[in-house]
């Protein structure tokens, strides 16, 4: 066996891993939302989140990258966490859909859960799309719309934390 080739191959493989670590990163976002659940089962609770990536440039700079040189941005996790001091849990929600919007782009359904399991109390993980979201997130005005279908019969105030993590596959910033 030619050891020179083996060493060269090992160096190349490790370099690829190193470059991969430098050009791929995760970014976490979260937003606390307080609202009244409403007492009409079947009604929609319509929540919009604006101004999400105001420090977009610094996020990418910290990761030696640039949003315009990004290959792909995709969701890797999306959750709702009950942070009520009262033990309200998620009994008032029938289903959840999350949409992403941006200027001159059609709204895109990015996450959902058709039925919140009865035994869930504190954290709900949503199903989500694997689609590339970079065209939306490049837009300075991109926004999220959370649509909850209520099944609550008591109008109570509640708070949850909406969190999501995106995986960013990027090129080196020059």
Partner 1 sequence: MKLNRKHIGLLGTIYTLVFLLVFSLGCKKNSNDNVTTFTIKVDSINHPDTIFFDSTMIIQFHGHIGPTDCYSFYKFEPSYVPDSLIITVLGKHEDKQGCAPGNINLEAKTLLISNLPKGTTKVVINQPVSSALIDSVYVR
Q: Please report, as ranges, the residues that interact with partner 1 according to CB under 8 A.
A: 31-36, 38, 45-52, 54, 141, 143
Nearer to partner 1, 32 or 130 (CB): 32
Q: How far is the CB of 28 from partner 1 (least distance, A)?
A: 15
Shortest approach of partner 1 to residue 45 CB, angstroms?
Answer: 7
* Minimum CB distance to partner 1 smaller for 50 or for 172: 50
Least distance from C-beta 158 to partner 1, angstroms? Answer: 11
Instruction: Using the minimum distance from each CB to partner 1, give the nearer residue, 29 or 167.
Output: 29
Q: What is the 3-state secondary structure (H, E, C) of the chain?
A: CCHHHHHHHHHHHHHHHHHHHHHEEEEEEEEEEEEECCCCCCCEEEEEECCCCCCHHHHHHHCCCCHHHEEEEEEEEEEEEECCCCCCCCCCEEEEEEEEEECCEEEEEEEEECCCCCCCCCEEECEECCCCCHHHHHCCCCEEEEEEEECCCCCCEEEEEEEEEEEEEECCCC
């Amino acid at each position: 066996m030619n050891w020179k080739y083996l060493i060269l191959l090992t160096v190349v493989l490790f370099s690829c891993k190193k470059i991969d670590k430098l050009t791929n990163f995760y970014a976490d976002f979260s937003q606390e939302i307080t609202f009244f659940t409403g007492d009409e089962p079947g009604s929609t609770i319509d929540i919009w989140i604006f101004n999400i990536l105001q420090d977009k440039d610094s996020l990418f700079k910290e990761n030696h990258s640039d949003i315009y040189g990004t290959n792909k941005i995709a969701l890797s996790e999306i959750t709702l966490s009950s942070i009520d001091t009262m033990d309200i849990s998620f009994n008032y929600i029938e289903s959840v859909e999350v949409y992403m919007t941006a200027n001159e782009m059609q709204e895109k359904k990015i996450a959902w859960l058709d039925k919140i399991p009865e035994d869930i109390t504190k954290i709900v993980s949503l199903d989500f799309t694997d689609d590339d979201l970079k065209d939306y997130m490049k837009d300075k005005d991109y926004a999220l719309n959370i649509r909850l279908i209520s099944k609550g019969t008591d109008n109570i105030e509640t708070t949850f934390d909406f969190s999501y993590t995106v995986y960013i596959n990027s090129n080196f910033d020059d």
